Structure 1
Amino acid sequence: MLGWSQAELAKAANVSRQTIADFERGAHTPISNNIASIVSAFEKAGIEFIPENGRGVGVRFRK
């Protein structure tokens, strides 16, 4: 949605690019503080995470 590269997301989330690459390819799930940093980076960029509410989870741009 943002068009970010792995390096751009890694920088915004203050995690290694390898953490992003491993997560994307399903090699492993990042530790909880890295996930929180990744989510925070997306939220700061205007992404909103939609929780499960019977209609399904998702993401969208915050209005």
Structure 2
Amino acid sequence: MYFDKIYQLQYEVNIKYQYWRNVLTPAQCRAARALIGMSQKELASMANVGAQTLADFERGARVPRINNLNAMQTALEEAGVEFIPENGGGVGVRLRK
């Protein structure tokens, strides 16, 4: 799958440059927004990314640059979302306590 290859490349770059974070997936992004009732427009504004960039990412049309992915994830985390990494049960999202 296209995204698997992109995420693998991003993983390799992140490891090389020591700034690894779990890479946000389109499904996690959609689920996180739904969990806190945030629109695409609101997230794009909070993360300072283009609304079209976010919409394209969530529907799987393209993978944003790593700085934009990090900005979206940070904005969601600041809004109360916790991202669950792959741990044998799959990635996910939940509300932070």
Could you tell me the TM-score, scaled by structure 2's length? Answer: 0.61
- Give 1:38 deviation, angstroms: 0.3
Give the ranges of 4+ consecutive aligned residues of structure 1 lying more than 3 Å apart after TM superposition. Answer: none
Q: How many equivalent residue pairs?
A: 63
Given the alignment of the two structures, is residue 25 of structure 1 paired with residue 59 of structure 2, yes or no? yes
Structure 1 stretches lacking a partner, 5+ long? none
Could you tell me the TM-score, scaled by structure 1's length? Answer: 0.91
Alignment correspondent of 1:40: 74
Q: Indicate which of 31, 52, 58 corresponds to 2:86.
A: 52
Alignment correspondent of 2:50: 16
Identity value in percent: 62
* 1:4-52 deviations in Å (ceiling 9; x for gaps): 1111010111101011111112110111000000000000001000111
RCO comparison, higher one (Cα < 8 Å, 6+): 2
Structure 2 stretches lacking a partner, 5+ long? 1-34
Q: CA RMSD in A?
A: 0.9
Please give the alpha-carbon distance, in whole angstroms, between the structure 1 residues aligned to 2:90 and 2:62.
24
Given the alignment of the two structures, is residue 62 of structure 1 paired with residue 86 of structure 2, yes or no? no
